[in-house]
Structure formats: C-alpha cells, structure tokens
Structure 1
Amino acid sequence: MLENNHKTIGVFVTSAHEEYQDILCRAICERAYEIGYNVAIFANFVGFGEQKYEIAESNIANIIKYEDLDGIILLSDTMVVKDFRSKIIKNIRKYSKCPVVSVRQEIEEYQNVLIKDNTVLDEIILHFINHHKFTKLNFLTGPEDNPVSIQRLNTYKRILTEYGIPIEEERIAYGDFWKLSAYDAVEKWLADPNIYPEAIICANDYMAIAVCNALAQRGVLVPRDIAVSGCDNIEVTKDIIPPITTVGMPVYDMGREAVDKIHRQSKGLPQEDISYLKFITYIRESCGCEMEKNAKDIFRRRNNIIKELEDRDETISKTAYMSIDLTGVTTLDDLNNRLASYTYLNEGFSSFYMCLYTDWDRYQSDKEYGIPFSDREVSMEVGMKNGQWLQKVQFEAKELLPSIYLDHEPQVFYFNMLHHREKCYGYTAISFKKLQSYKSSYQGWLTNVCNALENIKIHSELNRLVYKLEDISIKDELTGLYNRRALHTLGQKYLDQCIKNHSNLMVFSADMDNLKYINDIYGHAGGDIALKAVASAMMNASEDDEICIRLGGDEFSVIGVEYDKEKVIQFVNKFNDAIQRFNKELAYEFKISISYGWGITKANENTTLEECLSVADKRMYLQKYEKKKRGL
C-alpha cells in the first residue's frame, strides 16, 4: 500500500466527480488528514450501457491488496457500475481484517453511517398537506428494486394513509434517479385529468429539476400551476428558477463520521454499529413559498456558475484537440512526452502517475493473463509532481505507487483504471493541491489516453505480425534456416557491414553428396531427417550471429563477419563433429556425406556478394570432385 509510514483508508466510489460524492470524499480526506491517515480513493465511471466498458471499470476493485488496507469506506449508494460492489464485498470477505464502513446503504456485517430514509421526506410531505392544503400529491421515486426508492415511497404512502388521503397507484411513477424518466411521468400525469397533480414529490433533486423542465415545456408553471419538491439538496437546486424545495443530507458530516468510526474501531473504542445523522429540510419557491433572498449570495453563485460553464467549454475544446493529437501516437515514448502538455487540463492537480502493467500490450484479458492485478509488476511510465517530471521506475503493483515519490505527510490519491473496453492496461493516480475531486471532463481525458494506448498496442501488434510474415518469407519451412531470399537481403547487409568496418566476410558453402540415394532408398522422410541434421550441424557450429541458409535442395550456405582462418577452422571442425555424431548414433540406417568449401574476403566498395559466394562454391565443388575421384 502507500508506503509513507501512515495507515491507509481505501474509499470505493462511482462517479467521484458528482457533487454528492465530491463532498463526501472531501470530508473523508479532511478528517483522515487530521488524524494521520492516507486516503486511496478507488473510483470508476458509468458506462451508459456499454457492458465491456463497465467490466473493466469495475476492475478498480481488484488492483489492491485488501489485507494491506487499514480501513475501508464504501459509498454504497453510488455503486451503479456492474459487478463493482460484488467484487469489493468478495475481496473484503476473503482478505480484509480492517474496519469497514458503508455510507448511506446498510450492510449488516459492517459499520454503517446512515440517515433514516423512511422519514427523510416527512417534513416536505407534511408541508404540502398542512401548509398548502394539497391532497393531490404525485410521487416520482427511483428504481423499483433500490432500497432508497422503496423507503422514500413508503414514507409517501405512510403519511397519506395517516391523513386519510387515498393512495392511487396511477399517481406513483418509478424513475431512474436521473433526468429522462421525469419526462415520461409528467406526460402521463398531465394527460389524465383524474391524476393531474397539485404537487409532484420527487425522490431526488435530479428528477425534480427534470420535472420542472418537463412542465415548462408544456406551458405549466412551477409553482403557480403545480408545486415540485426534491431530495438531497444538490448545489444547483438553489440556482435554478424557481429554487427547489428539498431535503439536505448532512453529507459532509457523514464523510467525517465514516472516518471516525474506522478510527474508533481500530482503537477498540465502543460504538454503535449504525450512526444515524439528521437531515435538514429547505423550504424554497418551488413549493409555492416565498424565499428570503440574499443578493450577495445569489451574485456569488451566479458568477461561479458562469465561470464553471466557461471553464467547461474550454476544457471540452482542449480535450477534443487532445483526442485528435493523440490519434497519431504509435509509441509509448511519444505518448508519455505529449501527456506533459495535457496533464495540466486537470485543473489544480499536484501530482499525476500513469502506471502500466509491464506487459500491458501482450494479453487480451485478465483471465488470459492468469495473474491478479495486485500481484503484477508495474511500470510508472509518466510521473509528474509539483510541476517536475519524475524518472520512470518499476515496482510491485501491491505498493500502488513507488514509495520513493511519496511525501511523508498523509496523502490523498484518486485511482482509475486504464483500459480499452474490457482490456485493462494499468491505472492512473492523481492528487490535488486542495481537497477536491477531478472534474467530469476527467473521464473524457482518460478515454483519450486509453484510446492512444490501444493505438500503440495495435501498432505494436501489426509490427510483430509484419516481422513474423517477413520472417516466414525468408525462412525454410523444413529446417528453420533462412532461405535463398535471405541470402540477398541479410547477406548483403553483412557485406555492407564489412565494407563499412573494413573487416572480413566469411562464406561457407556445403552440398550433400548422397541426398538422392537416401531419398530413393529411405524415402523423402529419410531425406528430410538428413537435411535437418545438416541444418542442426550448421546451427551448432555458429556462435557469432552467422546467417545459416538452405539455398534449396541439398545446398547450404553460412555467412559470417569478422572471421579469420583460425575461426573458420573452428567452425568447420564443429560442423564436422556434429555430422560425425549423427553418423555414429546408429539411429538411422543411412549416413550423411557432405562436401564443403569456404572463403574469406577482405571487403571493399568493389566487393560483391556473388564474388564471395563463388570463392566458397569453387572450393566446395573441388572437394566434391576429389571425393568422386577417390570413389568416396
């Protein structure tokens, strides 16, 4: 884990850039720093239905050694990425022995920081009934199987029952805690006079804002015609027109309490398994009430929104250019160099690390690789800290980051996977000068990096394929030696090298004397064995990058550089010894007979490869002639 002599709390979250998650993480980090803990935030992004993307995103849960964590905080209600939560829980149960705290969703086997979702909307619903005298209350909740949705819907039903207001199922709609479902619900309710609402109560603020927009598109004014309320008190609810009546969770306090629960448990101090925190109801104009306006506060928020929109537009433009620029990257070094100028798009960062598994470009999937992420070797390809480039370094993945670059004070890092669809290449770590998360644009920024890595991987694979095809085209299939095509390509390169260095080129020519006899008597299978034996003898005699070639049929050649007579004799002796060993083994009924010749040429600009070959060939044919003359 982060090896700087501080304990480390691991935080698991989806969409860390969202307002609720950002506030929670900042509170966690602030409290952890106060009492001397590092914080490692393992974050991922939603894939919007792209399953392979989310499979890889969920693997951020697998990059660490859980046994090395000193505390774990689960932001459980944010974990909408497929398999993310199940992977974490599985790893905790298998490896972890540290305190575990779940925030906003109860997990019975761990400590929990909760609000009472079954009462969170009480004050708003009672406000509609008692203050505004509404009885036609429609309810937009979240997904049917979501615990928070269920509890908030039960609150609605409970209070209506207590006040004798009939529960009409047509007035209830199930949404997605996001924006799209609101439009369908509004269209349904406005189309039927029997379920036309006086107020629409939403289970979260995003849906409430979307309801206001959907009503406005249909000429229905909020709150004059229909009142609207939300839940969660996200920042923008104060700034839209009309400001949204909502309920605020004590998000900041929840983050601090999660850290305190870990600290108390690690110290053996007594505490309740569940910490319940109080919520706050904010009555604003969307329900029909007047709201006291603070001109200075409104002016400040307005300016902040304008600046944020300007910054977002600029970041989108620069991220788009980054995508175009990185399209042409084909090497890792090129990518590393270009990231120097693009890392600064992540406003306010203090350090950034791009860590790749050492063989990231060699495998197609985690299952194919066969080794857990946390057991691999990692190369820190890019490292920037306080404006300075850091030297590349390799380290064990279980360390997360190289200890030599960590400060001695408690650290905070956000970790994200680097991947292309389901293929994981490594991860990034980023920290900031102030306590903050990255912006929403970080997902696009990382995607650009991941696409560039995929381009590099494809380019590398194509180069390997081209090399393999080239190798096949110049290799003899039977013996594995080079073929005649290589004689004129590689042979010429060796000659050019000798001319440049004013050194000797050696050519060795060999021709089997009895291949036809072996083929006629023992068949071509026997002939193939003999040819392979000659090839093996040549390879055995070659110890200095010689080129061994089968020219065709029973003809062979060897080309070497920086040879003298003594070196040639050593080569010939080793070659002959190998042939004699084959003949003495008695594994086959035939013996190999071979004629050879060699030549050494002091190369110059006028030397040709054909001349060098001719010298060796003449001596080889002379030896063959002498054998026939002696009847051998």
Structure 2
Amino acid sequence: MPKPLIAIVTGIANGFAEQELLRGIIAENQKNGYSTVVFSNIYNIVQEDAYLECERRIYELVYSQDVSGVILFCESFVEERARRAVASMLQKATVPVIGIGSDLSEFAALSIPCLNTDDVQELEELTDHLIDVHGFTDILMLTGMREVEVSHQRVKGYEQSLIRHGIDYDPDKVIFGDFWTTSGEKLADSLIRGERPIPQAILCANDHMAYGLLRRFSEAGIAVPEEVTVVAYEYSDHRMYYSPPLTCCRRDREALGRAAAVQMHCLISGMAAPTFVPPKGSMVYGASCPCPMNERQMLTEQRDAAERRNYYDLNLFSTMEYRLTLCRDMTEFIRIIGDHVWMIRNERSMYLRLFADWYDPDTTQDGLMQSRCILPWEDTSIFENDRYDLQTLFEREPGAAVCYYTPVFSGNRLFGDMAVLYDTPDGYDDVFRHWLKSVSIGLEFLRLKNDIHYLLSCQTVSEYRDTLTGLYNERGLKRAFSARSEHEEASWYCVMLRLFLFPYPVSEADISQKTDALLGASKIIGSFCGRHDFAGRTRKDTFVCFVRRRAEAEQLSDLLYVMLLREKRCISYLGTDGYACTAVRCDTASYDEMLHQCESQITASYEQLKDSRKNRYYQELIEIRNLIYATPELTFTQDDAILPEDRTELYRSSYKKCFGITFHQDCITARIAKAKYYLAATQLELADISEKCGYLDHKYFQRQFTAVVGMPALQYRSLFQR
C-alpha cells in the first residue's frame, strides 16, 4: 500500500533556510510512515514579471488526491503577488494546511496555524549576550522593513533585554532596513561618514544585513570586533565569504520542520497534537565579536562551500546548452540531458514529465502526461500517468524519501515538470536550477524547430482550400455548408475526425510520418464523402465532413473509424487509440452549434481513452489490440498464439478492464470492422468479403455479422449507398 504524501509548498527549495526546514520535515515524515513531495519554483522572482508567472502553476499539484496534507513555507515567497496567487490556490485545498514562518498578511485569509521560532525571545537572548558577556551598553539595532511585523518582533526582543538590564531604550538607535545587504551597507556608510557615532555593537535582525556591514567596514579599514562588534540573527551558509566570519544566533529550523511534521501527522491521524514549543536557537561563534571562533564549524562550512564551488565550475564548462540547441528529436534530447545528470548532486532518480500535448501551442496543458526516467543507466521508455498522480514515481522508486517537483516552461506555456527523488532528507542546489533552465530553453528550441518544419509542410495559402490535403479549409467548409441542398431524401450529418489525440515523437522523421498520416486520413475522408458530399480540415488535427446517408449518426462515426483502420499510413502512426470520430444530425442546428456538439463528444471520447491509458499494462495491451485490428484474420487462431504465453490470464483480465470488452469478443469485433469497410467502401461479394476477413464459411460470417451489428450485411451496405 502506498504511503500517504505530505506536500511542501515553497517559493524556493534550495535556500539554506528552506533546506534546514526540509531536512527536519522529511526525517520526521519518514519516521511517521509518510513520503514527502516538494513543489517549488525555479526563479522565485523578487519583482513581478509576467513572463515568469507560468511557473506558479507547479503549485496546482496540491490538488492531487494523493496529498494528505500541505506545509507552506510562508517566508520563502518574496514577491507579494506570488504570495496572493499561492494563497488563492491553497484556499481550494481540501486537506489540512500548516504554515511555517511569519504569518504574512497575504496568507491571513487561509486561517491556518503558523509555527515559528520565538523571534522576540531569541533576539532578547542575543542582546543579553552582548550585555552580559561583553558588557556593551551602546548597541544599535538594524532590523527589516517597517511595514513587516517580523521586523518589529525582533526589535521587541532587543528592547526587552535593554529594559531588563536597566539600559534606556532609544528608538533612534533602531534602524529599519530591507533584510538585505544594501541595508547594512547604507548603515555602515552613515557611520563611516560620521553621521552618527560608531557604537560598541550592532545587532542585525538577519545575516544578510550584517554581511553588508562587514563588507563596508572591511573596505573602510574599520576593525571588527576591535572597534565595533557585529552580530546577527538567523545564520546562513555565506559566512566564509565575509571578513571577519560573522557571529550569529542560529535558528533551529530543522527542529521547527520536525515540529510541523508532528503537528501535520496529528491532524491527519486525528490525534491530539502536542503543545507547540518554539525550538530554541544556538550561538555560532565567528570572529565578529570578542568570543573565540568555533574553528570546526568554520571548516565544515568551508568544505561545503568548496563542494558547491566544484559543481558550479563543472556547470560553467558544461556543453549541455550548446548540444541541446542542435538536437533534432526527443530521443536525442533525453540522451543529452541524461549525459549531464552528473551535475546534480546525490539524486536517487530523475523523471521528466511532459504534458501529452506540450509542443502544441493551441491546447490547454492539463491531464495526461508522458513521463520517463532520464538516467541513462535506467529504463528511459515512456509511461503515461495523470498529472496529479504523485504516487507512481514512489512505486517505481521504492524507498525514496522525497520527490521534488519543479516547473519546466517557456514564457506563458507550461511544458510539464522535472521530478527529482532522494533516498535521504536531501535536496538540490543552485546548479540544478541553472541546469533546469537550460532544459526548458532546450525544449522550446526543439518545439520551435519542429513546429516550423511542420508548418512549412502544411501551410494553407488558398482562400477556400487546404493546400496539404486539397479539402476545404474552414472558410471553404462554411461556404459549402451554407450552399448545401436541403431537398434530399437522406438526412445531413456532421461527422468529425480528430487525429493525434495523444503525444507522438517530435523529430523531423516523425513530422514526415505525421504528415503522411494526415494525407492518409484525407484520402479516407475523400472516400467516405464520395462525389456528392463535402469535407474540410478545420484545424491541423481535425477533419469535418457533411454527408447525407440513411444511416444513423453512431453508424457513420463507426464507419469512418473502421475505414481509417484500413489506411496503413494512419494506423501505423496512430494505432487504434490515436484518433476519435463522432457524428451529429444537422437538423436545424447552425454550423458552429454542430461543431460544438462534435467537439464535446470528441472530448468525452478522449477522456475515456485517457482513463484507459492509466492501466499499468496499457502499452502491452494496446500493441496487441493494434495487431488484431490490423490483421483480424489472425484472430481465428488460439488466443495463446497472440497473448504472451506466460501472462495469458493476466492479460485477459486486464484487457476487459482497459477496453471494456473481452479479448475474445474484441477479436470478433476486429473481423467485423474489416467487413464493414469492404461492405461500405467496395462492391465485393459477401463470399469475397468473408474470405478477406479470415472466415472459411461465408454463412457463418453472415450469422456472426448479424449478431454483432444487429442487421444483415447487405442491409448494412444499403445504409451507405447513394
């Protein structure tokens, strides 16, 4: 039985703070029997950018029925509009949601519990350190934005410590900044210029502002800590890049993550949650205050930084981007990115999940996806699953602890996502984000390259005719429909054919096969209509016919379907599941109304086929089905001669679940389908048709045809005669 999934929603997954939280959550989830999925952006923009809004669609995965609970990293979203968009999505969630970090205003409407460290207490203790250990009384406080509540919470801790020690609190010694290095640089510049006296110590509400101070003081020759002590709250992994190394209070984010996972476990299982006690931080000693530096901690940070630097250098000299711009098909594309997975650290496995129609700009990306492992030493064959199916990858990678989903997109078009699995509470770094940007750009190159090739071969230049097929284009079809004769004995029907329902390879060779399939379909459409009816190609994958017959709508759509089975160019490329037909009676409906009806029915057929494709044995079964419909005369042999000997019974039971018909009955249907084609499209005698369909006794053929179709063969033929 698959493990329940806990989803993490974060603006960034490889930030130092986020990675510490994730380690705690993933480890606790493993202990409680959960798997973890992480949904994150690539860019996590600081300012609004319409070109990057598409990446937020990755958070739609929270709607998956596989998700049992959601943990939101509130502070990871740095742009206000992004926070509003994520909040809007989470309002529709039907599972428990917990926040970690500051309770930001954009998330207030969610009314969710938010767990955080006690900023007031920890800033108070950090101020205590400056007063009790070093005897400082002249202390400046550099905090964040004035309009952000957390800035004031951290000032409150500073104020409480001063008052408790009998030191006057002076609001003029509190400077509001922006939580970034620029704030520290600005304050340092004002101190260097003498606009305010240099204090004994400066307390920063986060590390980055302290880094700005250290940089400017170092450039100006002001000795830290000899002339001024600088300490900060939070702790990040960039201390070794500044001189001297920063002393700071490290928030225990890992414990905070574990606490959130415990709370979520209790919510899901219906247990009473333990009272949340904010985890206490700890001092990390650098050389920016008079205390001795923790040399071992600094060596660990330097080693980690050196490893990251090595991967950055490898990424810098990689030829992946260049090779991706030259590749010509998806097989080569997968091979190239697979050759460069060495750039990603410690992954267990990686899967590229693309929408079935990712390359088609005219479609809405949702639903069925084509997924494949990209590791070259693993099976890289395609398998299909629903976009919101998040359990399949864990089933394929038993033992994986976490799966990260990151968007693959270009402009306002989402292609799909990249899924990266890890065995341990681990995650990716900046190199992966740059790597994935290259993958996205490479996919867009490939799409445009093949789309241009296809458009050049299929462009329409006639006012009323489709140049590729010679049939009407949509304008010509509307014109012919308006001029049709109503004074006929038989009824008019609108028959629609939709090709390429599911994804097909993208390469120049496959584009050629796709064009051949279109031409084959247009040939069948011409035969289906005859000389007195008319048809057109209304879209690059859609044909519409207007025909007069005595047959019913269902019989007409069925006939067009079986006629396409006999066109080798179509069936070899599309198979039996790559197209759908439907028909409606015209009556008094307008042209647009009829096409809308047909579109709705085609969509319903597509959804039914899409559900069938979720069967784990679908690829094997559809190959068998394609075989029996291409050569139905073979079906008179024993079933064992067609079904794999070692899986005959398994495939029999799966066949009916997948296609809604037993294998034996489908063999009969395939033979009758071939007979329908010969009856409607040729003048062959019944005995000849019987023989072509593999029957040795033409009377038995006629009995079986009547039993399946509900009418004798000759009566069926009369329905389609003019």
TM-score (norm 2): 0.60
Structure 2 counterpart SS, 1:95: coil
2:97 corresponds in structure 1 to: 100
2:37 maps to which of 22, 35, 40: 40
- Distance apart, 1:227 and its partner CA: 0.9
Q: Number of residues paired by the alignment?
A: 481
Taking a change above 3 Å as real, the CA distance of residues 575 and 32 of structure 1, as seen in their structure-2 partners, is closer
Q: Name the CA shift for 1:249/1:303 in 2 (closer, same or farther; >3 Å).
A: closer
Q: C-alpha displacement at 1:71, in angstroms?
A: 1.7
Relative contact order higher in (CA < 8 Å, ≥ 6 apart)? 1
Letter matched to residue 288 of structure 2: S
Separation in structure 1 between the aligned mates of residue 17 and residue 458 of structure 2, nearest angstrom: 53
More strand by percentage = 1
Shift in alpha-carbon separation, 1:290–1:300, aligned structure 2, 3 A: closer
1:334 matched to 2:332: yes
Per-residue CA shift, 1:373-423, capped at 9, x if unaligned?
Answer: 4xx11111x414693133101211110364595234464101101112332
Q: Give SS of 1:256's match.
A: helix
Change (3 A) 1:130 1:394: same
Aligned to 1:393: 383
1:72 counterpart (63, 70, 73): 70
Residue equivalent to 1:458: 448
Is residue 2:412 matched to residue 1:412?
Answer: no
Q: Which residue of 2 aligns with 1:628?
A: none
Separation in structure 2 between the aligned mates of residue 132 and residue 58 of structure 1, nearest angstrom: 48
Task: Report the counterpart of residue 111 of structure 1 in structure 2.
Answer: 113
Partner of 2:120, secondary structure, is coil
Q: Which residue of 2 aligns with 1:167?
A: 170
* Distance 1:356-1:225 versus aligned 2 partners, 3 A rule: same
Alpha-carbon distance between aligned partners in 1 of 2:393 and 2:246, rounded to the nearest angstrom: 48
Partner of 2:368: 377
Q: Contact between 1:142 and 1:203, CA under 8 Å: does it hold in 2?
A: yes
Asked if 1 retains the 8 angstrom alpha-carbon contact of 2:338 and 2:376, the reply is no
Separation in structure 2 between the aligned mates of residue 85 and residue 445 of structure 1, nearest angstrom: 26
| Alpha-carbon separation, structure 2, partners of 1:22 and 1:328 | 36
The answer on whether the counterparts of 1:350 and 1:386 sit within 8 Å (CA) in structure 2 is no
Deviations 1:119-160 (A, max 9, x none): 221122233234434343222222333332221123334444
5+ residue gaps, structure 1, are 487-527, 535-560, 562-569, 583-632
Residue 405 to residue 120, structure 1, CA distance change in 2 (3 Å) = same
**Which residue does 2:55 correspond to in 1?**
57
User: Does the 8 Å contact 1:358/1:377 carry over to 2?
Assistant: yes
- 3-state SS of paired residue (2:114): strand
* Secondary structure of residue in 2 paired with 1:286: coil
Structure 1 match to 2:414: 424
Deviates more, 1:207-216 or 1:152-161: 152-161
CA distance in 1, matches of 2:21, 2:298: 24
Give the corresponding residue for 2:314: 314
2:126 to 110, 124, 127: 124
Task: Quote the Cα distance in structure 2 between the aligned partners of 1:66 and 1:574.
Answer: 48
Aligned pairs for 1:144-155 within 5 A: 144-155=146-157
Cα distance between partner residues in 1 of 2:258 and 2:176: 32
Change (3 A) 1:416 1:406: same
Structure 2: distance between partners of 1:482 and 1:227: 78
Map 1:432-451 onto structure 2 (within 5 A): 432-451=422-441
Moved more, 460-469 or 347-356: 460-469
More displaced 10-residue stretch of structure 1: 83-92 or 432-441? 83-92
The Cα of 1:213 is off from its aligned counterpart by 1.3
Identity within the alignment, %: 19
- Alignment-mate amino acid for residue 441 of structure 2: N
- SS of residue paired to 1:41: strand
Are the equivalent residues in 1 in contact too, given 2:62–2:70 (CA < 8 A)? no
Q: Which residue of 2 aligns with 1:605?
A: none
Instruction: Provide closer, same or farther for how the CA distance between residues 300 and 250 of structure 1 changes in structure 2, counting only shifts above 3 A.
Output: closer
The 1-side partners of 2:337 and 2:322 are apart by: 13
Q: Is the 8 A contact 1:61 1:84 kept in 2?
A: no
SS of match in other structure, 2:29: helix
Following superposition, the deviation at residue 453 of structure 1 comes to 1.5
Distance 1:67 1:110 in 2: 20
The answer as to 2:22 corresponding to 1:20 is no
Report the Cα offset of residue 279 of structure 1. 2.2
* Corresponding residue of 1:627: none
After superposing the two structures, state which structure 1 stretch, 29-38 or 229-238, moved more. Answer: 229-238
Secondary structure (helix, strand or coil) at the match of 1:6 reads coil
Q: Name the structure 2 match of 1:343.
A: 341
CA drift at 1:236? 4.3
Measured in 2, the distance between the counterparts of 1:410 and 1:37 equals 11
Q: Separation in 2 of the partners of 1:85 and 1:17?
A: 18
State the distance in 2 between where 1:465 and 1:63 align. 33
User: 2:230, 2:288 within 8 Å by CA — same for their partners in 1?
Assistant: yes
Cα distance in 1 for residues equivalent to 2:258 and 2:69:
14
Deviation at 1:168, TM superposition (A): 4.3
The residue aligned with 1:134 is 136
Give 3-state SS (helix, strand or coil) of 1:398's partner.
Answer: coil
- Give the structure 1 partner of residue 457 of structure 2: 467
The SS at the match of 2:309 is helix
CA distance in 2 between counterparts of 1:456 and 1:96 reads 38
**Other structure's SS at 2:264 match:** helix
Q: Secondary structure at the match of 1:327?
A: helix
Q: Deviations over 1:403-455 (max 9, x none)?
A: 59523446410110111233211111001344311011111111101111121
Distance 2:221 2:350 in 1: 49
Cα separation, partners in 2 of 1:446 and 1:175, compared to 1, 3 Å:
farther
Q: Is the 8 A contact 1:62 1:87 kept in 2?
A: no
Structure 2 unaligned blocks of 5 or more: 471-478, 486-518, 520-525, 535-546, 548-722
How far apart, in 1, do the equivalents of 2:160 and 2:430 lie? 38
Following the alignment from structure 1 to structure 2, what is the Cα–Cα distance between the partners of residues 401 and 37?
A: 12
SS in 2 for 1:426: strand
On the 8 A contact 1:102/1:110 being kept in 2, the answer is yes
Using a 3 Å threshold, how does the CA distance of structure 1 residues 5 and 236 change in structure 2: closer, same or farther?
same
Q: Which residue of 1 aligns with 2:255?
A: 253
Distance in 1 (CA, whole Å) between partners of 2:51 and 2:530 is 58
Deviation at 1:8, TM superposition (A): 0.4
**Does the 8 A contact of 2:214 with 2:243 survive in 1?**
no
Assess if the C-alpha contact under 8 Å between 1:350 and 1:433 holds in 2. Answer: yes
Summarize deviations over 1:76-102 as a string: whole Å, max 9, x none. 1212255444344333332313x3222
Q: For the Cα contact (< 8 Å) 2:205–2:232, is it kept in 1?
A: yes
- Per the alignment, residue 292 of structure 2 pairs with 290
* Partner residue, 1:192: 194
CA distance in 1, matches of 2:55, 2:339: 26
Determine if contact 2:214/2:242 at 8 Å carries over to the other structure.
no
Q: Kindly tell me: are residues 577 and 428 of structure 1, through their superposed partners in 2, closer, same or farther at Cα, counting changes over 3 Å? A: closer
Q: Name the CA distance, whole Å, in 2 between partners of 1:30 and 1:315.
A: 30
Note if contact 1:66-1:92 (Cα within 8 Å) is conserved in structure 2: no
Matched, 1:218 2:212: no
When residues 576 and 407 of structure 1 are mapped into structure 2, their CA distance, relative to the original with a 3 A threshold, is: closer
Contact 1:160–1:167, Cα closer than 8 Å, also in 2: no
Comparing 354-363 with 383-392, which one deviates more in the overlay?
Answer: 383-392
